[in-house]
Amino acid sequence: MTTMPTIPPHGDHQTPEERRQLAQRFIIEARQELETGNRLQAGEKAWGAVVQMFKIAAERRSWRHDSHSLVRDMGFHLLAAYPEYDSGELNRALFAAFDRGHRNFYENWASPDEVTAVVEGVEEFLPVLDTLAAADMRTFVITSRNQLNNLRNLTGNDSLQVGDRSDAGFSLQHQQGGNGSGDRADSSGGPEGS
């Protein structure tokens, strides 16, 4: 039997370990909700576990993370910045957690089997999300409008442009190397590598 993690004390800031506790608790609660037939709560709890892991990544980088759209942007950016963690299955599991987990909480359209698959997918990929959230900062070059928009939203820096690079992955907290706010990748302003 799995021990239910305690709910951390409330406050303005949760530590990474407290967020991991919440994610584990949400997965256990999602399983319990499935057992009682409450697929609406089960899917929402699974999505909540994903969000907690993304918030660890955001706080390590000092990114904004206080809205649904920012959490979505963060997911897209992390998968772009760390493609070795995305087998395609992770991307599908994250989309399902949002679509059939979170959105279904409001719309009630996903079947019990679909929500069960969401919970299982999140449970399977939580260790990967934990590794991704704690991954070392690395050089990132903005190569598309989608990446640009995601990073502008996450950093609050509207002066970023396609072709900008950051040696710290546009982390506002770990600005090693370049200034992290838009060094041009090369003298022509075009992106180099990715």
Q: What is the mean pLDDT of each run of 10 residues along the chain (194 residues)?
A: 83 92 97 97 97 95 92 91 90 92 94 97 95 92 96 95 95 60 41 32
- My answer on whether 63 and 23 are in the same domain is yes
Burial state string for 158-167 with b = 16 or more CB within 10 A and e = fewer than 16: eebeebbbbb
- My answer on whether 118 and 170 are in the same domain is no
- My answer on whether 86 and 173 are in the same domain is no
In a domain, 165, yes or no: yes
> How many domains does the structure of the chain reveal?
2
- My answer on whether 48 and 115 are in the same domain is yes
Q: Which of 143, 145, 133, 141 is nearest to 74 (CA)?
A: 133
Structure tokens at 160: 């970023």
Query: CA 104, 108, 111, 115 torsion: positive or negative?
Result: positive
- My answer on whether 125 and 37 are in the same domain is yes
- My answer on whether 129 and 144 are in the same domain is no
Other Cβ atoms closer than 10 A to 142? 26
| Among candidate residues 113, 133, 153, the one where a domain is terminated | 133
pLDDT at site 1: 58
pLDDT at site 189: 34
Strand order of the sheet with strand 183-184? 140-141, 164-166, 183-184
pLDDT at site 175: 61
Close Cβ partners of 11 (under 8 Å, ≥ 6 residues apart): none
Other Cβ atoms closer than 10 A to 38? 15
- My answer on whether 83 and 157 are in the same domain is no
pLDDT at site 184: 47
What is the span of the domain harbouring residue 171?
140-184
| pTM of the predicted protein model | 0.85
- My answer on whether 127 and 148 are in the same domain is no
